[in-house]
Amino acid sequence: MTVAGKVYIIGAGPGDPELLTLKAKRLIESSDVIIYADSLVPAEIAGFAKPGARIFGSKDMSLDAIMSVTLQAVADGKIVSRIQSGDPSLYGATLEQMRILEAQKVDYEIIPGVSAAFAAAAVLKAELTVPEVTQTVIMTRAEGRVAMPEGEALIDLARHRSTLVIFLSVTRMFRIAGQLQDAGYPADTPVAVAYRVGWPDELIIRGTLQDIAQKVRDAKITLQALIIVGPAVDPKLLDPDSGQQVAVSHLYSDEYTHLYRRAGRGAHADAQRAELYEAGGYEIQPEAAPHVAGTPAD
């Protein structure tokens, strides 16, 4: 038999409350108990809770304490929002929570969020998968107190020369920059360090593998930062005067037919472009609008 309440493990995004999903906000507003990662999630997000909701910051709670509050609440038939930073599936310590919920037969659901990785890419105005540059993103961390499984040391991952997004590791910037160069990334490989993306004190530091560590040290950044490495974060890609050529993806190419569009041919495609703009797009009719759970249509 399942217990009466329900738990939502919610990804809150990187910090900016406007990057919460509509679903996350609706669930927070209707929860009886909020347990939020107050080291990386702003109080404003927990503040969407209804009056009378009980709010806990989890940064100084142990797993036992978090789960005992959670299990007590669901036994009382309450709805619990466990709010985590970014997306819960990345470095969220969610599996250990889910296993306890499974063991106790508690109904739970995961609500995805905007990972800091994607919020950082947005601030950098970077496409992490640039055609003919790299089509792969590796999300990882440097070895520290947590040992890396075999084959996942930075030196192994670096061999791919893809875009590397490194979480939880900014204190090891000198070692990381050295290891990546040892593994074959050129010294002038672009690197961006994104500190507290989506917060008022957000800071972006750009450099190369050669100079980024010193820049990070000078800026005194020791936590809450992501390191993104690879040619995809080269600011020259955006600069039309840099002389850097960029391949165009097939998706919107006139020469490419796919499921939703036939390849255009010369003048026909140009005419179509002009018509599209002049037609002014189209209005979505209410009956064709996508159903949103929780609307009066429910």
225 binds ligand SAM (CB under 6 A): yes
CB 197 to ligand SAM: min, Å? 4
172 binds ligand SAM (CB under 6 A): no
CB 92 to ligand SAM: min, Å? 5
Q: Which is nearer to ligand SAM, 130 or 192 (CB)?
A: 192
Q: What's the farthest any 2 CA atoms get from each other in the chain?
A: 68
The interface with ligand SAM within residues 47-106 (CB under 6 A) comprises 85-87, 90-92
Q: Please answer whether residues 212 and 191 qualify as being in contact, where contact means their C-beta atoms are separated by less than 8 angstroms.
A: yes
Alpha-carbon gap, residue 245 to 250, rounded angstroms? 16
**Which residue in 10, 34, 35, 40 binds ligand SAM (CB under 6 A)?**
40
Q: Which is nearer to ligand SAM, 42 or 264 (CB)?
A: 42
**What's the distance, Cα to Cα, between the start and end of the chain in Å?**
27
**Which residue in 10, 116, 176, 232 binds ligand SAM (CB under 6 A)?**
116
CB 193 to ligand SAM: min, Å? 9
Interior CA angle at 265 toward 259 and 270, to 5°? Answer: 100
Beta strands across the sheet bearing 163-167: 137-141, 163-167, 225-229, 190-195, 203-208
**C-alpha to C-alpha distances, 248 to 235, 245, 252, nearest whole angstrom:** 17, 10, 8
Q: Which residues bind ligand SAM (CB under 6 A)?
A: 14-15, 40, 85-87, 90-92, 115-116, 120, 167-168, 194, 196-198, 224-226
